[in-house]
Chain A
Amino acid sequence: MKQNVVIIGGGIAGMEAANQLQLLGYNPIIVEQESALGGHVAQWHKLFPDMSVARDVVGRMSKSIASTNVFLDTRVVSVKSSRSHYTLSLSNGVDVTTRVVLIATGFGLFDARKKEEYGYGVYDRVITNGDLEQWMNGCADSRIPESPRSLGFVHCVGSRDLKAGNNQCSKVCCMTAVKQAIEMKELFPDSELYCFYMDLRLFGKKYEDFYINAQRDFGVHFVRGRVSEVGEDIDGRLCVKAEDTLLGKPLKIHLDLLVLMAGMVCHPQTSKVAEMLRLDVGNDGFFKSRDNLANIQESNQDGVFYAGACTGAKTIPETLAEARAVALRIHSYFNNL
């Protein structure tokens, strides 16, 4: 009989791991709290660096696990652990017994309302990176004007921010801002675009090309300095105050739309899952790996593994690589039992 592997989270990490485990001859069971697979990536429009359509990527992945057991709209309610088995009670009434649990719960998007000075939820013309992607996917958004003349992107909203309680870099937002700026310029060629950044961390393959293109071909203005406050005119336009630290001067710009690059924070359910399975959580709120070099996928509990952004901010290629690696790790775990 095939061995069960319960995968908590049906994002790209969970799906990819399920696919690989299936190929290795196991019986993966995905428990997903939302009503569809794909997690955050399914909400996105296009993915850098190849501008692949996110829906296609997620669609291909879910096709490859078409025969896998998937429980949608389901959460893990409680866990009983014996010496070699875990019995997970699910919210749909099913109990699953397994030797291996794979945590692929991913991340949560930082709640931009916490940075009240940027005015998300207060002003009509402030949205987040996630909102913009959804709008590009065809969801109507009244906050985005018909033809904005000027747009701003604020990097590091809730990332690298002690006051927001998140010290870590979210890795993907710099590149997302560059990507979204280019996309918006393509949609509104007459508009002026401003990116307010602390540092640009464009480390991945082809990221630098995007950055150069954005400046050279699309005329995006990169301003090194943080936005201090955002106000609103009587006519509803935004008045953004920032500092250009390269010029050493304060800056005041009127904008029609401000996009906040909300960062990755730990998934809101992290502490609950950690409590059920008695897993360690780091001071950043993410799951704590056995170490952060060679054993990122290993937890402090025997038979519980991690994949993807549940242990920290990761890009899509990193997440997929981890998902494949963890499948092999689980395979060798079973072989050594």
Chain B
Amino acid sequence: MIDRIPSGFHPFVIPFLLGMAFVLGYCAFGLFRIIKQLSWKERRKLAVSLITPETVVKNIRDIFCDCLFHVKLWKRNKLLGYMHSSIAFGWFMLIVLGHLEVILFVPKRINLFYYPIFFNYFVAEDEITLRGSLLFFLMDFFLLVVLSGIVLAMIKRVSSRLFGMRRTARPSFLNLVGLYALWAIFPLRLLAESFTAHISGGSFLTIPANWVFRQFLGNELNMLPTWWAYSIALGVFMCVLPFTRYMHIPAEMLLIPMRNAGLKMVDARKGFTRVQVLSCPNCGVCVDACPMSANRANLKDCTVYLTRQVRRGNERRIEQISDKCLMCGKCKEVCQVGVDGAQLRLMQRARRQYGFSPDFSNLPQSQIISSSSQKNEKVLYFGGCMTQLTPAIGKSVESILRKSGVDYEWMDREGGICCGRPLYTAGRTREAEQLVQKNQEIIKNSGAKVLLVSCPICYKMFLEHYDLNDIRVVHYVPFMLDFIASGKIQLIQSEVSYVFHDPCELGRGCGMYDEPRQLLKRVAQIREAEKNREMSVCCGGSLGSLSLDFAQREKITRASLDNLCGSGADAIATACPLCKTTFSRYSDRPVRDLAEIVDELIIDN
């Protein structure tokens, strides 16, 4: 391999250089701004994680798995996984191999930034070596890989249904410019390398192409224009990159170390939140996943549109989208990048200024009189507001406690204080905090060792926002499993088959998927819905939404019911009073809480 151009420069590299300079400058400035927005504590956390070997290894692994191989996407959808990883990894390999070629064949040019990219223009093949042909083969191979990804991307653009996506996000104008520039890069590269293949050498793709072109063109006049076009496509792509979804490429590389450092979103716009927003690749997977999109409604209120509007600064839409969400957390579950849509909205809601803010400081103080017999550990049962509205559940839990001989007290039998979660999800953190304080006092003074909860909404609140010292917070499902394991209650088997609906707050919210199924299996037959566990569809009753009206909720509930009833089960089981109430409205089959099912099947001694 020899240098063909003595100066090692040609003006056609200028568009690429300009684009590269712009995007690097932009990213450097953005990085500086984001680091500045972080608090001193966060910066320290990040710095420490970047010098801790374990997190460094994790960062590298995550960047490779998420950004290049798209492992999460592969697991969900093979075709989409191949499409993304072929482009990302193929392009990455082209860059790496390009550098390798420069190092091996023209090492003195390694300091030239553009050389690996336009290598084939600047060199001429002087002899054929085995080493070179292997590299040429790999270059052509990865170019083919990328091109196959681009072809898939084009097909997907025409018909996303073929890729299992019913709906995708509509790209904005600049996104389209970026998209077409990206599509143009690799065919142009193929053309450019083909036109020079008789000089610089090539492999199974470029040499035959070169031969074909020469048969009917017979000159080299096309060589330079295609290299120009290739460089311009690269330049255009990089110039629009910061303003398009392709910003997720650099942003994700910052998101991963920040997340691994344990940073949390604390502001509605700045710092880590900004990185999350920029990391959204606009793939639109969340459009199909969002339960609000049932019957083609609310299509522009899912997370992909939230991040877009945040980037545009459209305050009116940001507020609308933030208020509408059911906070079911499914978009985060399906997101390849891990953008936390619900948390983004929560931060936004917390920004709002209210003209009136209720004061809960005059609520009654401790009500529970400590009457614990010292022998047993006392259980304090907190039903919560929703259990008050579904008395069958509260009654069943109480009955099970009685039958298993537990020393318990029903904290809010005659009314109590809300756990605070509704206020918290509405963004009224300060008011929620007042309720948390009140309840904390009551619980701590009760002398109980265990706080038993039957509502997953309260459960999540108690786990995440309460400081109860050594008092164990437990949902009744694992608690009852313990009763069964220790023989405190014996059960008979029912003939009814149930499909279990994973409540958002219990499943995605608290990660409890297996225990309810174990419990249900002990007493009845269990069927699974098509979308279950992490993919469970919100019942539509969620108190997370501040603006969805009743008619819209009905559609969501019916869609969720369709998913459950598709299993062919006789009845629906759940472990959340709100899901139960919501489903009961429209369900054609019985909807029951696990506590009710279990209580009915206990053998009385």
Contacts and interface: CB of A to CB of B under 8 A. Distances in A.
A252 B416 CA distance: 13
Contacts of A229: 388-389, 391
B585 A116 contact: no
Interface in B324-346: none
A117 interface: yes
A231 B414 contact: yes
Contact of B391 (A114, A163, A232, A252): A232
Interface string B575-604: 000000100111000000000000000000
B409 to A, nearest CB: 12
Contact of B389 (A116, A123, A164): A116
Nearest to A118: B391
B388 A114 contact: no
B415 A116 contact: no
A165 B550 CA distance: 10
Contacts of A116: 389-392, 581, 584
Nearest to A239: B414
Contact of B550 (A122, A162, A231, A252): A162
Interface in B371-417: 388-392, 395, 413-415
Interface in A91-120: 114, 116-117, 119
Interface in B157-189: none
Nearest to B586: A165
Contact of A117 (B390, B395, B413, B415): B390
Interface residues of A, number: 18
B391 A117 contact: yes
Contacts of B586: 165
A122 B389 contact: no
Interface string A125-165: 00000000000000000000000000000000000001111
A252 B585 contact: no
Q: In terms of DSSP, what is the predominant structure of the interface of chain B?
A: helix
Nearest to B541: A163
A241 interface: yes
Interface string A29-69: 00000000000000000000000000000000000000000
A163 B585 contact: yes
A230 interface: yes
A246 to B, nearest CB: 22
Given A122-B395, A162-B550, A239-B414, A117 B584 contact: no
Nearest to A230: B391
A231 B585 contact: no
Contacts of B581: 116
Contacts of B550: 162-163
A164 B388 contact: no
Contacts of A252: 415
Interface in B282-315: none
Given A114-B585, A116-B581, A116-B584, A123 B391 contact: yes
A116 B593 CA distance: 13
Given A163-B550, A231-B414, A252-B415, A117 B585 contact: no
A27 to B, nearest CB: 39
Contacts of A231: 388, 391, 413-415
Contacts of A162: 550
A164 B585 contact: yes
B231 to A, nearest CB: 62
B415 A241 contact: yes
B578 to A, nearest CB: 12
Interface string B532-561: 000000000000000000100000000000
A162 B585 CA distance: 10
A119 B391 contact: yes
B169 to A, nearest CB: 33
B548 to A, nearest CB: 13
A117 B392 contact: no
Contacts of A121: 392
Interface in B36-61: none
Contacts of A165: 585-586
B585 A122 contact: no
- Among A122, A162, A164, A165, max chain B CB count under 10 A is at A122
Contacts of A114: 584-585
A122 B391 contact: yes
Contacts of B388: 117, 229, 231
Nearest to A250: B415
Nearest to A116: B390
Nearest to B387: A229
A154 to B, nearest CB: 14
- Among B391, B581, B585, max chain A CB count under 10 A is at B391
Interface in A227-267: 229-232, 239, 241, 252
A230 B390 CA distance: 10
A239 B415 CA distance: 10
A285 B395 CA distance: 33
A239 B391 CA distance: 12
B414 A117 contact: no
Contacts of B392: 116, 121-122
A174 B346 CA distance: 44
- Among A117, A231, A252, max chain B CB count under 10 A is at A231
A162 B395 CA distance: 27
Contacts of B414: 231, 239
A121 B414 CA distance: 20
B360 to A, nearest CB: 15
A266 to B, nearest CB: 15
Contacts of A123: 391
Given A116-B390, A116-B584, 11 more contacts: A116-B391, A116-B581, A117-B388, A121-B392, A162-B550, A164-B585, A165-B585, A229-B389, A231-B414, A231-B415, A252-B415
Chain A to chain B: the 5 pairs with minimum beta-carbon distance, closest first: A117-B389, A229-B388, A122-B392, A122-B391, A119-B391
9 contacts: A116-B390, A117-B390, A121-B392, A122-B392, A162-B550, A230-B391, A231-B388, A231-B413, A239-B414
